[in-house]
């Protein structure tokens, strides 16, 4: 059965990446949630998509425009949860953690060592948090940044990884992902066809596709055999597959 994964929670009916959005996704019957994780200046993993605080956040106030990575966790907007809080809220659900590396210290600059150090801090914080939680979470770690996924794998070979891409990965890429310990590939839904799904499965990779809100497209992707569909509207997606809440 294809899993329905709520993109940043039920993000059409609640503010994305907030505890309210994740709680609503659970009530609507989503099999899992997808979220964006960034590292604060004091080393706390926060759940937020953009590299600066979003104006959509309630109570953002004077935080607007400040970089997430430059803000102490204690000074974050109240609507922004820690990753630990989201994992507690989503206990028993699949949690797809997308590691965001745009806008963090060192990335985008010429100094490669600073960029690598920033990635390493992010990977290290994630592995440490999951270790402290003693494996009780159902986690899949994804990113467009293959380098940060490699760092996670080096620190925790058992961590389940999925590479995000907007493009259609060919057989060589799929084989490389499987060889490097990935368990999934996350292509954009517009490049999915039966051949890609078959090739990924043959390589031992699950196919998670994003971000699909049209009911007819959800149903079509399910017939192609994808393993999970990431959507902003989990209730709509579930109904398109003949599944109700719960």
Strand spans (E) along 156-244: 161-165, 184-187, 206-209, 228-231
Domain membership flag for residue 245 = no
Share of the chain above pLDDT 90, in %: 83
Q: How many CA atoms lie within 13 A of 244 on its CB side?
A: 0
Phi-psi region for residue 227, left (φ > 0), alpha (ψ -120 to 50) or beta? alpha
Residue 69 lies in a domain: yes
pTM score, two decimals? 0.95
Residue 246, in any domain of the structure: no
Domain that holds residue 165: 3-240
The answer to whether residue 127 scores a pLDDT higher than 80 is yes
Asked if residue 142 is part of any domain, the answer here is yes
Q: Residue 64: inside a domain, yes or no? A: yes
Burial track 193-214 (b if 16+ CB lie within 10 A, e otherwise)? eeebbebbeebebbbbbbbbbe
Q: Is residue 31 part of a domain?
A: yes
| pLDDT tens per residue, range 84-124 | 999 999 999 999 999 999 876 544 445 667 778 889 999 99
pLDDT in the model for residue 111: 63
Please indicate, yes or no, if residue 181 is contained in any of the structural domains.
yes
Residue 108 maps to which CATH number?
3.20.20.190
Q: What is the C-alpha radius of gyration for the chain, rounded to an integer number of angstroms?
A: 17
* Residue 158 backbone dihedrals phi, psi, to 5 degrees: -80, -10
Total domain count, the chain: 1
């Amino acid at each position: 059965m294809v899993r329905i994964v709520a993109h940043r929670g039920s993000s059409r009916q609640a503010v994305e990446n907030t505890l309210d959005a994740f709680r609503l996704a659970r009530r609507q019957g989503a099999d899992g949630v997808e979220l964006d994780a960034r590292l604060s200046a004091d080393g706390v993993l926060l759940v937020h998509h953009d590299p600066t605080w979003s104006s959509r956040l309630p109570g953002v106030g004077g935080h607007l425009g400040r970089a997430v990575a430059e803000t102490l966790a204690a000074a974050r907007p109240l609507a922004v949860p820690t990753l630990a809080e989201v994992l507690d809220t989503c206990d028993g659900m699949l949690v797809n953690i997308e590691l965001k590396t745009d806008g963090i210290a060192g990335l985008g600059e010429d100094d490669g060592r600073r960029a690598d150090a920033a990635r390493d801090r992010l990977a290290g914080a994630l592995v440490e948090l999951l270790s402290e939680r003693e494996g009780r979470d159902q986690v899949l770690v994804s990113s467009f940044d293959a380098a940060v996924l490699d760092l996670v794998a080096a620190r925790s070979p058992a961590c389940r990884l999925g590479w995000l891409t907007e493009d259609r990965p060919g057989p060589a890429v799929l084989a490389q992902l499987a060889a490097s310990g990935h368990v999934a590939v996350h292509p954009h839904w517009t490049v999915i066809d039966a051949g890609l799904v078959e090739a990924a499965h043959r390589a031992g990779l699950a196919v998670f596709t994003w971000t699909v809100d049209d009911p007819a497209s959800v149903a079509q992707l399910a017939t192609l055999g994808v393993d999970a569909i990431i959507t902003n509207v989990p209730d709509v997606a579930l109904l398109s597959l003949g599944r109700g809440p719960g």
